[in-house]
Amino acid sequence: MYIKGTGKHDSCCSLLLRLVDVRRLAWHGKIKSLEQIFLFSLPIKEYQIVDTFLGSALKDEVMKIMPVQKQTRAGQRTRFKAFVVVGDYNGHVGLGVKCAKEVATAIRGAIILAKMAIVPVRRGYWGNKIGPVHTVPGKVTGTCGSVSVRLIPAPRGAGIVAARTPKKVLQMAGIVDCYTSSRGTTRTLGNTVKATYAALAATYGFLTPELWKETVFQKGPFQEFTDFLAKPVIKGH
């Protein structure tokens, strides 16, 4: 396949096939969980993949709907911008932002984008490792614009000490106890939500002693199921 003006022959075609391969492996049960997708850094380009694994456990919350305007020669064009957070209250959270002419269309598009932007959230303990994980494993910070949100581990029973917006995002990620600190213009709700989401995504960004074990390399799904993916695709599968 040659794309005129790009000088590229098969790179675009192979990328599209690779994205379809993830869906095929998920639907046929070759990929067992979202963690396998995250482990091998496979891109999630279809929201149905997330629905396959999380299903009814995934909840969505509209954080804010705001009108935005663009000046054109015919006058001002008003559209609606929706911020939506999705999560399963058990270690997965996603954020989607979408503009559309109608509110319902914006919300629907934001939910789809949030599912495709879902990330794993690492949880841990404040002190002794007793019972289920309940807080963030260490101090993490996320920023967006002038807003900076810092998450600090809290003892069991402390609850989530945060403003209404970050608290909802943390709850949907499965965090039970957490202290927070924020700086900047936090009344800009969009930036506050994005900063909280960035902080949660950063929980897997550092190594702690329990992760210092020697890594055992495994075959990626594309390598392991090469024979399956080589079969011709039947329409509807």
> Do the domains spanning 11-120 and 140-205 agree at the CATH topology level?
no
Report mean pLDDT in 10-residue bins for the chain, 237 residues.
Answer: 50 55 82 89 90 92 96 93 96 96 96 96 93 94 96 96 95 96 95 97 88 82 81 65
Q: How far apart (Å, rounded) are the C-alpha atoms in residues 37 and 27?
A: 13
Cα–Cα distance measured from residue 195 to residue 205, given in angstroms and rounded to the nearest whole number: 15
pLDDT at 7: 54
What pLDDT does 178 receive?
96
- Does domain 11-120 correspond to CATH entry 1.10.510.10? no
Distance, in Å, from the CA atom of 138 to the CA atom of 86, rounded to the nearest integer, reads 23
What's the whole-model pTM score?
0.87
Cβ partners under 8 Å of residue 207, min gap 6: none
The topology under which CATH files domain 140-205 is: Ribosomal Protein S5; domain 2 (3.30.230)
Q: Report the C-alpha gap between 141 and 152 in whole angstroms.
A: 9
Task: For residues 22 and 109, give the distance between their C-alpha atoms in angstroms, rounded to a whole number.
Answer: 22
Domain boundaries defined on the chain = 11-120, 140-205
Question: Phi, psi at residue 142, to the nearest 5°?
Answer: -130, 145
What element of type H or E holds 193?
helix 189-201
The arrangement of strands across the sheet holding 178-183 comes to: 140-144, 147-153, 178-183, 160-161
